Amino acid sequence: MAIITAQRRFQRLALLAMFCLAGTYLLLYRLPDRPLMESWRTSTYVPSSFDWAHRPQKHPIPESSITDLPKGSPRQLPRIQHGFSKEELTEAHNRTQRERRDAILETTKRAWGAYREHAWGRDELNPQTMNGADTFGGWGATLVDSLDTLWIMGMKKEFAEAARFVGTIDWDSSTLTEISLFETTIRYLGGLLSAYDLSGEKLLMGKALELGDMLYAAFDTPNHLPPNAFHMRKAREGLLFANTRESIAVIGSLSLEFTRLSQITGDAKYYSATEAIKQGMERTQDSTKLPGMWPTYIDVRNGFLTSDSSFTLGASADSAYEYLSKMYELLGGLDRTYETMHTKAMDTIKNRLLLRPMLPDTDAPDILFPGTVFANGAGGIIDLVPEVQHLGCFAGGMFALGGKLFGSDEDVQVGEQLARGCAWAYESFPSGIMPEIAEIIPCGSESNPDYISPCEWNETRWEREGDRRGRFPKPWRALRDRHYFLRPEAIESIFILYRITGKKDLLDVAWRMFQSIQEATKTAFANSAIVDVLAEAGQTDKVNSMESFWIAETLKYFYLIFSEPELISLDEYVFNTEAHPFRLPNLGK
């Protein structure tokens, strides 16, 4: 028995040595030469137990069909960020913003400390019961998602500890049989790529490369287009199929991460995989039931069919539009297709989706919201539903960024109207926070479909269409989901708008938003989603949930808006939809 035990021990040691050698090879030879932080030279790197990079493909893509990254020097893109002068950044001004920034930092340290103590290595912290939960693969979503936040906020000790944990992740040991391709890409892959761009730590890039090779298997389908449901066993065996009903957000929001992976590694296969998606979007953009936009759901399996009739910037669509201008940036302006698709989409959104709320104030702010459209494609019949989604609040930043990038002052203005619309929505509810989904009474109606021109308050219309029971503030007529899930989209747009315009009042807007969120969501040890935004900020019922984007996105955007403008400049980095900044190519890899 002792002999057998010794043999097994030797076999295990040999296997461990083989893994370590493989990891060393991965780190030293497959990645570009980047400086390694001295304090982590001895960090443990444990390769994943399945080698996805050398998995035989069932539906191989011929090498001759691989699309290379665009060639040539990046174009000189327009300046995006406002040129802040010394007069604008006075000492008194900076002192106030530093105090606000430090408050954000303390909130982040508190949330991270609670996660570290009670949910380390789990996907998220349950802030009510103070234990961990696995909701996104079980690899530590909050830990990976928060890496770049820790670095940006100067929490280098916490970053180092988290990076060491990342080196031990086994992507083949998911707690779930099936994972989301979209969520895994934006949270895990995006988080690792961004943390590598910021720190130069090869250990992180090694794990990003392993994960990229795993996710690349999603494209091993008969038509080389991926499903969102990444079944681990079926992916290994090449048994995945693209879906007949897939959200446009899922299929349209992989390009930024896969492209950055190709830029860093020099391997074009990741970029090439998402090129087929771009081509499908380009081919169908003008032939949908609302030309210029793509429906919420498409048939990816059978020719990228777009017969669905709903169009939105909210759930299941949002980031597909966000990535058009950002891909143009990341590719250094060398692929004009993204500019064309972005411009067409924004024109349709301005003409068909935007609405102005009917406001009771005599000094009504100049604000807009994106609604949801149902179009039948025959005779141009359009039905605009005045549905306001918190997820859609990213649109202000998207319009402002695209407007600066492509020289449209009108789009920058629309971006400001949309961003300020969500900020106004926050202040219109007792908690100081807007809900997940609500309906508002717009200017215009079915009989007068001018939804965007200013209008006066109509009390008779409010009595006819509004909330007769007096539960909701004017002009909100219905709350379809009263929760607030610690989401970042509203502060995201305020941050981008401030960095683009330099308008100081946006800092006060952001601070009021943070104060309301902090008062409404703070728990004994961290922060929690809340049940009802109609409750006063200090009297909210909590949900046992603190998703990874609380630290990865929401707190990061709050911290950055109160930081020096040079910190993660919009002219040097482009953010993925999970707020992970990728370094733009004109500044080197």
At 224, phi and psi to the nearest 5?
Answer: 60, 25
| Whether residue 246 lies in the annotated active site | no
Annotated catalytic residue: which of 145, 489, 492, 547? 489
φ, ψ for residue 340, nearest 5 deg: -65, -45
Are 344 and 286 in contact, with CB atoms under 8 Å apart? yes
120 Rama sector, left if φ>0, alpha if ψ -120 to 50, beta otherwise: beta
Residue 282 is among the residues annotated as catalytic for this protein: no
* Residue 566 bears catalytic tag: no
For residue 92, what are the CA distances in angstroms to 100, 499, 501, 562?
13, 19, 20, 13
Task: Mark the binding-site residues, compressed into ranges.
Answer: 577
Q: Which of 124, 148, 183, 197 is catalytic?
A: 183
Known binding-site positions for Ca(2+) = 577
Query: Helix 91-119 to helix 156-166 angle, to the nearest 10 degrees?
Result: 40
Give the separation between CA 523 and CA 278, rounded to whole angstroms: 43
Question: Annotated catalytic residue: which of 197, 318, 492, 547?
Answer: 318
Euclidean distance between CA atoms 109 and 395, whole angstroms: 29
What is the C-alpha to C-alpha distance for residues 581 and 249, in angstroms, rounded to an integer? 19
Nearest to 207 by CA among 378, 59, 30: 30
Count the Cβ atoms, other than its own, within 10 Å of residue 319: 25
CB atoms within 10 A of CB 532: 18
88 annotated active-site:
no
* Residue closest to 366 by CA, chosen among 293, 466, 304, 454: 454
Q: How many angstroms separate the CA atoms of 306 and 297, rounded? A: 7
Backbone angles phi, psi at 522, to 5 degrees: -65, 135
Identify the active-site residue in 148, 436, 439, 547: 436
| Token code pair at residue 174 | 């998911």
Q: Which residues are catalytic?
A: 183, 318, 436, 489
